[in-house]
A = this chain, B = another copy of it.
Amino acid sequence: MDIGGTAAAIRNGDRRALARAITLVESARADHRALAVALLAALGRAPFGDRQALRLGLSGTPGVGKSTFIEAFGMMLVDAGLRVAVLAVDPSSARSGGSILGDKTRMERLSRQPQAFIRPSPSQAQMGGVARRTREAVALCEAAGFDVILIETVGVGQSETMVAETCDLFVLLMAPAGGDELQGVKRGIMEMADLILVNKSDGDLLAAATRTCADYAGALNLLRHRPQDPPGFPKAMPVSAVTGAGLAQAWAEMQALADWRRAQGHWAARRAEQAAHWFGQEVRQGLLAALDREPARGLMGRLAAEVGQGAKTPEAAAAEMLAALGRG
């Protein structure tokens, strides 16, 4: 692989080069890994790079209309002249074998736009791999000059953490619901949200959506104020991905929030924190990778068997393994 040429192609907006580079960062092969590290370095990835997209995390339970929302919201941004990338994070796909965004037909119009790039989640990634793949795919899309990167996750605990570690803004998409269901929303995810959008604010559900929105606004008011929020944030708003109602207002609020955070220094501080966190994760993953290589892998298996048979205590076997790795 020609690292310099690939980096140049990505920076010039070559979508095929970008897609190949994402495949590269998703690979578990050691030679691919070395190329990925070199490519990311060549692209000058850094928290204060010259190209900063708005990294927008989007979460919501299945059935809330995430795909329809992304299609409508993404088309609105594209029509406004912006370049939009959509990435999916699905930690569960490793087990289920399925993947969200597995089918671009769910976003048929958006996927045909030359200004848009849609990337489904890989189906075979491990958890550590998912976090790394997500942040590196985001970095590649950012280097490719996208203005907005939408990071879609299913409503699972760990993917939400990843979004917090990767995004500038976090949007929670909710369906109209009764007060009881609202209580079922985990406090942790509410505390992460910058904006709660109540979807399906149209037709028969309009009244219910308006009430739900007021309920969420009330719940958000009860949360502790976060220093990275201007007055009025986090806030809840009604939208309809079907009619398009509220989408422009939601985008205006996102931009206002992003502008405020940039001006106050919160934006840069968060990106710096995220980058430092990724560094720590990379180091830990690199240390543990020693166990997956031969001959360490074989010794691990033999010692585990001895421990299982009661021939050695877990602690003594671990000490033996660490000594073999030069970590006595």
Contacts and interface: CB of A to CB of B under 8 A. Distances in A.
Contact of A287 (B46, B291, B312): B291
A313 to B, nearest CB: 5
A318 B286 contact: yes
A278 B315 CA distance: 8
Main secondary structure of the interface of A (DSSP, over half): helix
A151 to B, nearest CB: 17
Interface residues on chain A, size class = 35 or more
Contacts of A309: 272
Contact of A315 (B41, B314, B318): B41
B308 A273 contact: yes
A175 B273 CA distance: 44
Contacts of A3: none
A276 interface: yes
Contacts of A273: 308
A27 to B, nearest CB: 14
A181 to B, nearest CB: 12
A16 interface: no
A315 B284 contact: no
Interface string A306-328: 01111111111111011001110
Given A275-B308, A307-B276, A314-B275, A291 B283 contact: yes
Given A40-B313, A273-B308, A280-B304, A287 B286 contact: no
A104 interface: no
Given A37-B319, A286-B319, 10 more contacts: A37-B316, A41-B316, A45-B313, A45-B315, A48-B310, A279-B307, A282-B315, A284-B291, A286-B321, A287-B291
Interface of A: 36-37, 40-41, 44-49, 135-136, 272-273, 275-276, 278-280, 282-284, 286-288, 290-291, 300, 303-305, 307-319, 321-322, 325-327
30 contacts: A37-B315, A37-B319, A40-B313, A40-B315, A45-B315, A46-B311, A46-B312, A47-B307, A49-B310, A272-B308, A272-B309, A273-B308, A276-B314, A279-B304, A279-B314, A279-B317, A280-B300, A282-B314, A282-B318, A283-B291, A283-B300, A283-B318, A283-B322, A284-B291, A286-B318, A286-B321, A287-B290, A287-B291, A287-B322, A287-B327
